[in-house]
Amino acid sequence: MNHNRLEQLSDSIFAIVMTILVFEIKVPIIWGQIDNYGLWLQIKQLFPLLLSYILSFSLLFTYWRAHHFFISVYAKNIDSMLTNINALFFMLISLIPFSASILGQYNRNELSVIVFGIHIILISLTLYWMRRYVLFSPHIKNPEISKREIRGSTIRTLIPVFFAIIAIIICFLSVKLALTLFTLVVIFNLSSYSTVLFENILKKLHQLLFGADIKGHFAD
């Protein structure tokens, strides 16, 4: 199998899943006449589904972009093992409308956060597995990749895992705070400065805990 077949499959799956997400947002059926205020109340009930759609669509975009880098940029060839990892990744991606619908319709329930969080963890860990295989498998050829770029991709791939775990724990105290953490994951992965900020935070924490500069550990 060549790159084009895998890339076409990836783009098709992401396009279909991103489109299916919006099908959960249905215009309310209203019998008889209704004034503007009554219509607003009906539309207001759709807000949780709209927010779930925006969150899930944004997450899918960050996964699509990461997959593009790992498969189309980092990997110069593919093998059967890499295609199998991709199959698992695509299967989990295809389930996003299900977990997003649960989160949107039952946004006050801790279980909806747990289901969505576990789903994000599984997708991110599969993506991390794919990334490690692409970068370190003797069967996959890579271009010249700097240590900083490798470190940045590691951070961006694993940050959703840590945020999802925290969100699952926090949801028993505040579901809204847990949902905020999912939103921060999207903002983190969409920002081009997030990895630099994360590294600076790690440096400061290390200096506070150990009183030593670890600049050398973050150098290229």
Q: How far apart are CA 158 and CA 79, in angstroms?
A: 24
Query: How many separate domains does the chain show?
Result: 1
Q: How far is CA 164 from CA 102, 113, 158, in A?
A: 16, 9, 10
Residue with tokens 């205020």: 37
Looking at residue 23, its pLDDT comes to 84
* Over residues 44-60, mean pLDDT: 87
Check residue 211 and give left, alpha or beta (phi > 0: left; psi -120 to 50: alpha): left
- Write out pLDDT tens, residues 132-185: 998 888 888 888 777 777 777 788 888 899 999 999 999 999 998 998 888 888
What distance lies between CA 50 and its chain's CA centroid?
18
* Contact indicator for 110, 171 with CB cutoff of 8 Å: yes
To the nearest whole number, what is the mean pLDDT of the chain?
A: 83
Q: What is the pTM for the complete model shown?
A: 0.83
Cβ-Cβ contacts under 8 Å for 61 (sequence gap 6 or more): 18, 190
Average pLDDT of the segment spanning 61-68: 90
Cα torsion at 59, 65, 69, 71 (round to 10°)? 80
Say if residue 204's pLDDT is above 70.
no
**What domain range includes position 59?**
3-218
Please report which confidence band the pLDDT of residue 202 belongs to, taking 50, 70 and 90 as the band edges: low
